[in-house]
């Protein structure tokens, strides 16, 4: 059962982003800026698709790269489901707090106002924290070397993107952003 719930959490995470992008598009707001700053970002989607496949392959008994697990524990699996749920909740709260400022990638043309309320009052990057929590939860449910590599790679990629965004936010919002950084931690 934890496998199915973790798979659903991953699917809901992706669907929430897609839905938000489409809802903003209906309001004539472009929210998808993925790859505008660095074209190498387009190397990421095939790895994301492979990640989804690995999770769903274990859940639905499809052919997979490896079924070797570091450990087998129902309790840890349920803890992983809890992580997935908490990460999903944090992600949804960050989408709500973003409002019309939600973007995938860096919008250098019309970034909107600096969001510092809601979950952004506790973390400058709650969406990345949420996604990381979901990935850790996924690893606890599916404890194999492939997902461990993904958690490590995602940690590096998230941090890389956060540094890019921070540079832009410093340049765009100036002192307002620096004051926000002084009050709120980067992650948690």
DSSP 3-state of 68: coil
Backbone φ and ψ for 137, nearest 5 degrees, come out as -60, -45
- Compute the mean pLDDT over every residue in the chain, rounded to the nearest whole number: 93
DSSP 3-state of 108: coil
Backbone φ and ψ for 65, nearest 5 degrees, come out as -65, -45
Report the C-alpha gap between 162 and 185 in whole angstroms: 12
pLDDT score of 110: 81
* 116-168 confidence digits (pLDDT tens): 999 999 999 999 999 999 999 999 999 999 999 999 999 999 999 999 999 99
Q: Is the pLDDT of residue 181 over 90?
A: yes
Report the C-alpha gap between 80 and 3 in whole angstroms: 9
Q: What is the pTM of this model?
A: 0.92
Structure tokens at 56: 């769903």
User: Which position has the higher pLDDT, 65 or 124?
Assistant: 124
Average pLDDT over residues 66-92: 94
Q: Is the pLDDT of residue 49 over 90?
A: yes
pLDDT score of 18: 95
Q: Is the pLDDT of residue 35 over 90?
A: no
pLDDT score of 113: 87
pLDDT score of 107: 87
Hey, where are the domains in the chain? 2-62+90-183
Please say whether the beta carbons of 16 and 87 come within 8 A: no
Please say whether the beta carbons of 142 and 55 come within 8 A: yes
- Identify the CATH assignment for 2-62+90-183 out of 1.20.120, 1.10.1240, 3.30.300, 1.10.3470: 1.20.120
Cα angle 36-164-27, degrees, rounded to a multiple of 5: 50
Q: Is the pLDDT of residue 173 over 90?
A: yes
């Amino acid at each position: 059962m934890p496998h199915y719930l973790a798979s659903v959490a991953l699917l809901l995470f992706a669907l929430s982003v897609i839905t938000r992008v489409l809802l903003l598009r209906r309001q004539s707001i472009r929210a998808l800026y993925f790859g505008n700053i660095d074209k190498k970002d387009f190397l990421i989607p095939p790895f994301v698709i492979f990640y989804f496949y690995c999770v769903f392959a274990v859940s639905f008994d499809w052919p997979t790269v490896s079924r070797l697990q570091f450990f087998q524990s129902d309790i840890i699996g349920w803890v992983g489901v809890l992580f997935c749920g908490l990460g999903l909740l944090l992600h949804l709260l960050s989408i709500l707090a973003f409002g019309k400022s939600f973007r995938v990638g860096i919008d250098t043309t019309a970034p909107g106002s600096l969001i510092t309320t809601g979950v952004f009052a506790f973390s400058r990057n709650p969406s990345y924290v949420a996604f990381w929590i979901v990935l850790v939860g996924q690893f606890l449910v599916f404890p194999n070397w492939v997902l461990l590599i993904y958690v490590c790679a995602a940690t590096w990629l998230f941090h890389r993107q956060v540094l890019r965004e921070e540079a832009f936010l410093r340049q765009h919002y100036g002192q307002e952003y620096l004051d926000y950084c002084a009050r709120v931690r980067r992650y948690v």
